[in-house]
Chains A and B, each alone.
Chain A
């Protein structure tokens, strides 16, 4: 069934279809319509779940961590400073290996206060051990929530479904609502590896030593380092599981297909522009305009940012002459994090570095600054014509 709704409602309907059992959330713009919709669905009796209107984002994730540890499918959503306020709990959820799903409705972080879209909030959580997915439209949001629960539960690693504040959260677009019967085939009931249970007591997340230690039966148990090593190994393996999840989804629903990167006219492209989220769909227009001028441009959307699809990116980019990375966030003091990650992947995987494409970083849309298609077109035209300079260019800066 096609409906026309906004991105937050798409996310809420995805959470309902996924059968989340515990939802804890604290209001922050532009996430609010998502959690309002969930509370409405629950109060109206259309969704069977416990909704906890907590007093902070830190508590929202605390409640979800505890609910997941007790065997329930748990969900939360936030934006910007709410996400930053959760930071301690974000690390905790990954370390505790809990299959939570959180929507991050991307927004600029303070100071100064700014409610508009960029990606600094979720990019700043890059190193927490969560899986990060970026949606480009409403279909990817609603489908992404279902895939996120499947992937989280298959890997015991929490997943963020990131989508652009306002640009997606508050705009209306047609999308297909997944059929319940198909969802039941795609997403099996949650069966946790362990849930808190008085009949089978365990003490979770106790103080763990730097070295391995014997348990009461004489077996050696992991030290902290082994536990963290396994998180890293399982995150790397999640690249494969994410694509398998995508394939399983496509087989049942007949759409999707690219879990890691989403190329558009990249096959013969001499220059490829890379980005995250809805910007990469806007860039498709730029590709068409510049191809009309004879410039062979393609665009590559990074759908899964962590674990980082270094090989898939290398395969997509290695034959290009140049790569231009446009980001709505940066690692202050250097450049965009995605740009650095792509450079590292190409350096790692391309043997003959004289044949490696140049990589040029650009910053755009910080704090919701309009990213105008004519500006993108002009900037990319110039970047292709000229030689790459050091440091990122800021598109549309007015100084």
Chain B
């Protein structure tokens, strides 16, 4: 296994200009900056409408130093395939192709194209930054919004349904690499992207991405909130490498310690969960505990 990247070994070259249009404390801006370092210069990006479109800037100014194709909402993965096939036709297969979409553009409107590409095994990396809602359009619910979260279109009772498990759906396609990551653990993300580059076929990485305005916390707490999601066992860092599931990084350490922070500590950091009753918190805790008991059994 290659050595883990540290803050000292992280490449200095930047691919995102400073002063871009991301919100203060944006989890995406961390994941994007570190992610592009991992991808390196020989990369073409494909991006649907999302917060990333905003971060990238308004014509004719762009904050990304890599070539980027902005595409329609539903078509990220199909467009990535198109770029890939055009590169093949021109003998430029050394160039990496990367789709980078939000959770709506992945789990909802983009899932058909993504599923199609994964079934074909098209050789690109698809990164989903999951800020758990349509944040760019004003915080509406998405397929990956967690249960009971208040959003602009679940404003009083919260979202009634559970979060869609997109990494599991992608793993069910039988592709050779699926991983989860968090903007709060950027070096873990960096290494997972590095691993994805080394594998042929469709690769999927799902990045939990704290969003201060969408989730309702102060921008300075982005890393803290992201870490609490992992430390409580609410969002887990793992990879499914050629079919083999393995907790990684901070989640792997939790497996050794067998002591999760109560999920309440995570939920209480965000105003989107302010309507949760004690019963609902207990229900969420029970689901987290049940999930982790399967991890403990497998360890």
Determine whether the beta carbon of A64 is less than 8 Å from that of B82: yes
Identify which of B115-123, B247-255, B263-271 touches chain A: B115-123
A71 at the interface (CB under 8 A from B): yes
Determine whether the beta carbon of B120 is less than 8 Å from that of A53: yes
Identify which of A6-14, A202-210, A243-251, A266-274 touches chain B: A202-210
B256 at the interface (CB under 8 A from A): no
Which residues of B are found within 8 Å of A204, using beta-carbon distances?
Answer: 67-70
Which residues of A are found within 8 Å of B58, using beta-carbon distances?
Answer: 206-209, 213
Count of A-B contacts judged by CB separation below 8 Å: 170
Q: Which residues 48-94 in A have Cβ within 8 Å of B in the complex? A: 49-50, 52-56, 58-60, 62-72, 74, 88-89, 92
Q: How large is the interface on A (under 10, 10 to 19, 20 to 34, 35 or more residues)?
A: 35 or more
Determine whether the beta carbon of A52 is less than 8 Å from that of B120: yes
Contact indicator per residue, chain B 78-113, by CB within 8 Å of chain A (1) or not (0): 111111011111100001000000000000000011
Determine whether the beta carbon of A54 is less than 8 Å from that of B43: no
Determine whether the beta carbon of B64 is less than 8 Å from that of A203: yes
A198 at the interface (CB under 8 A from B): yes
Contact of A207 with B61 at beta-carbon distance under 8 Å, contacts A70-B82, A201-B67 already known: no
Contact of A67 with B113 at beta-carbon distance under 8 Å, contacts A50-B88, A196-B69, A206-B53 already known: no
CB closest chain-B residue, reference A73: B89
Q: How far is the CA of A196 from the CA of B120 in the complex (A)?
A: 23
CB closest chain-B residue, reference A92: B72
A3 at the interface (CB under 8 A from B): no
Determine whether the beta carbon of B113 is less than 8 Å from that of A62: yes
Which listed residue, B43, B70, B72, B85, touches A63 by the CB 8 Å rule? Answer: B85
Which residues of B are found within 8 Å of A68, using beta-carbon distances?
Answer: 82, 86
Main secondary structure of the interface of A (DSSP, over half): mixed
Which listed residue, A72, A89, A201, A216, touches B61 by the CB 8 Å rule? Answer: A216
CB closest chain-A residue, reference B95: A198
Which residues of A are found within 8 Å of B83, using beta-carbon distances?
Answer: 66-67, 69-70, 196
B57 at the interface (CB under 8 A from A): yes
Q: How far is the CA of A221 from the CA of B88 in the complex (A)?
A: 33
Determine whether the beta carbon of A207 is less than 8 Å from that of B44: no
B174 at the interface (CB under 8 A from A): no
Q: Pick from B46, B64, B82 the residue with the most CB of A within 10 Å.
A: B82
Determine whether the beta carbon of A55 is less than 8 Å from that of B79: no
Determine whether the beta carbon of A58 is less than 8 Å from that of B57: no
Determine whether the beta carbon of B81 is less than 8 Å from that of A52: yes
Determine whether the beta carbon of A215 is less than 8 Å from that of B61: yes
Contact of A66 with B69 at beta-carbon distance under 8 Å, contacts A54-B81, A209-B59 already known: yes
Which residues of B are found within 8 Å of A345, using beta-carbon distances?
Answer: none
Which residues of B are found within 8 Å of A180, using beta-carbon distances?
Answer: none
Determine whether the beta carbon of B46 is less than 8 Å from that of A66: yes
Q: List 20 A-B contacts (CB under 8 A).
A: A22-B82, A24-B81, A49-B89, A55-B78, A55-B113, A66-B82, A67-B89, A68-B86, A70-B69, A72-B85, A74-B86, A88-B72, A195-B86, A196-B68, A196-B83, A201-B68, A203-B56, A203-B57, A204-B67, A207-B53
Task: Report which B residues bind A (CB closer than 8 A).
Answer: 41-44, 46, 53-54, 56-62, 64-72, 74-75, 77-83, 85-90, 95, 112-113, 115-116, 119-120
Task: Report which A residues bind B (CB closer than 8 A).
Answer: 21-22, 24, 49-50, 52-56, 58-60, 62-72, 74, 88-89, 92, 195-198, 200-209, 213, 215-216, 221
The 10 closest A-B pairs by CB, nearest first: A66-B82, A55-B116, A59-B78, A62-B75, A70-B86, A63-B82, A72-B86, A221-B60, A203-B62, A62-B78
